[in-house]
Amino acid sequence: MEFPVRTEALVVESAGAAFEMTPIVIDELRPDEVLVEMKYSGFCHTDILVQQGVLPGLELPAIPGHEGAGIVRAIGSQVKDKTLRVGDAVLLSFTVCGQCAPCGEQRLTKCVVHPVVNFRATRLGTDNTTSARLARDGRPVRSQFFGQSSFARLSAVHEVCVVKCPYPDDLAVYAPLGCGYQTGAGTVLNVLKPRTYDSIVIFGMGCVGSAALMAAAHLQVRQIVAVDVVERKLALAMELGATDTVNPAGNTAGLAEQIRALTGGGASFCVDTTGVPAVIEQMLDCLAHGGTAASIGAPPGGARIQVDVAAFLYQNKNWVSIIEGDSFPPKFIPELMELHRQGRFPIDKICKVYPIEDLDRAIADMKSGEVIKPVLQFS
Ligand SMILES: [Zn+2]
Ligand SMILES: [Zn+2]
């Protein structure tokens, strides 16, 4: 492929501005980068935070999108995976610094600057450049959001983000594996590992919570409680394997008591995908003796909670944070694809494909709870 390449992307020009299809230019492909022609991208709540201009470290203009799926169009000269070929179907996941001790040990979600490098949306290393610029005035546009900025027709992504997909016909269903699905499923399969006789309570039945639920159902956990304020989502949760549902209808006080009663004294495991401080307090209060709660949803900046410290200690409770399901994407994403093909991770039931021109409708459907996971299609 000849550079510079002209293409277009959904750009957010300034905080609060609309996602606008905008001509961009990619000048070069660095030796450690892969050029991907995007076919699909999942739409995630974090992309709305880009549009609102509230993500720390992310300067605008920027191209959001971090659940990309597409076809390799060019490969940098020093890309380490020598099996990668032009024409391969790939899924894109998060990036890392590649320099710190956890990165050296392939504990990628433990990268000490994980949010910094993923939110900043510039190239790795010290030059802090972007891989694209606006065609109309040459200004740089942040174009490696989560290493990929997948709301672009073409994107130069760092090789660490790239996971080969042996099933090109299923790229639409698999696109969100790179963020939302692996975050929910990895929390259950990689970290919490509930046993069949345990109980697990999942707060928030969006994409991440639904993936956590599917993973718990796959493990045949005895009691799986889905919590949400949208009845439609709770009905879907029952279809996906929940044994009980709770709708606090916006009033979280008393939620812990209700769940303790439902679980016979408290839950072995809890997962919060909402990031709402009042929900996290209830989550810690409804744990059984020795139980573990996981926070995996983004809270508002500076949020604090109140904890009954004595109960926390004497009941030997645990509270952990988990990023991206603690997954090593090159290994975990293929495992999830195989689970899906065996019918044990039915993610096709929660996604809906929209032409990228219908982004506004996709966002509205996600907000109303009509659709759990919108996937945008490039035509
Ligand atoms: Zn996401
Ligand atoms: Zn690192």
Q: What is the pLDDT of residue 50?
A: 93
Contact 228, 210 (CB under 8 A): no
Distance of CA 353 to the CA centre of its chain: 17
The CATH number of residue 67's host domain is 3.90.180.10
The reply to whether 201 falls in a domain is yes
Q: How far is CA 307 from CA 11, 52, 83, 148, 257, in A?
A: 41, 31, 50, 38, 15
The answer to the question of residue 315 being in a domain is: yes
Cα separations in angstroms, 224 against 196, 201, 203, 269, 376: 11, 6, 11, 10, 31
Task: State the Cα torsion 108-113-118-124 to the nearest 10°.
Answer: -90
Mean pLDDT to the nearest integer, 271-291: 97
pLDDT tier at 124 (50, 70, 90 boundaries)? Answer: confident
Is the domain of 188 the same as that of 303? yes
Amino acid at 290: G
Query: Which CATH number do you get for residue 237?
Result: 3.40.50.720
Q: Return the minimum-mean-pLDDT range out of 31-40, 53-62, 328-337.
A: 53-62
Work out the angle at residue 16's Cα, subtended by the Cα atoms of residues 12 and 18, and round it to the nearest 5 degrees: 50
Neighbours of ion ligand 2 (CB under 5 A): 96-97, 100, 103, 111
Q: Is the pLDDT of residue 295 over 80?
A: yes
In this structure, how many other beta carbons lie within 10 angstroms of the beta carbon of residue 27? 12
Query: In percent, how much of the chain has pLDDT > 90?
Result: 93
**Residue 341 belongs to a domain:** no
Q: How far is the CA of 207 from the centre of ligand 1 (A)?
A: 9
Mean pLDDT in residue range 268-288: 97
Same domain, 203 and 296: yes
> Are 113 and 227 contained in the same domain?
no
Query: If you measure from the C-alpha of residue 93 to the centroid of ligand 1, how many angstroms do you get, rounded to a whole number?
Result: 10
- Taking a C-beta distance cutoff of 8 angstroms, is the pair 24, 58 a contact? no
Q: Which ligand is nearest to the CA of 110?
A: 2
- Looking at residue 238, its pLDDT comes to 98
Decide if 302 is inside a domain.
yes
Residues 106 and 87 in one domain: yes
CA angle 270, 320, 118 (to 5 degrees): 110
* 220 lies in the same domain as 90: no
Is there a single domain that holds both residue 151 and residue 214?
no
**What confidence category does residue 83 fall into, taking pLDDT thresholds of 50, 70 and 90?**
very high
The confidence score (pLDDT) of residue 312 equals 97
Domain membership of residue 336 (yes or no) is no
Domain span at residue 104 reads: 5-178+346-377
- Count: domains in the chain: 2
Contact 94, 161 (CB under 8 A): yes
Complete DSSP assignment for 284-299:
HHTEEEEEEEEE-SPP
Confidence at 280, pLDDT banded by 50, 70, 90: very high
The answer on pLDDT for 314 being more than 90 is yes
Is the CB of residue 204 less than 8 Å from the CB of residue 280? no
Q: 138 and 117, same structural domain? A: yes
* CB-proximal residues (5 Å) to ion ligand 1: 44, 46, 179
Instruction: Name the residue with tokens 């769940």.
Output: 259
Q: How far apart are CA 94 and CA 114, in angstroms?
A: 9
Instruction: Report whether pLDDT(240) > 90.
Output: yes
| Helix/strand/coil for 343 | coil
Give the whole-angstrom CA distance, residue 201 versus residue 330: 29
Position 333 in a domain: no
Is 199 part of any domain?
yes
Bridge partners (DSSP) listed for residue 242: none
Distance from the CA of 111 to the center of ligand 2, in angstroms?
4
CA of 63 to the centre of ligand 2 (A): 23
Do 161 and 16 fall within a single domain? yes
Phi and psi at residue 200, to the nearest 5°: -140, 135
Q: How far is the CA of 274 from the centre of ligand 1 (A)?
A: 13
* Statement: residue 126 has pLDDT above 70: no
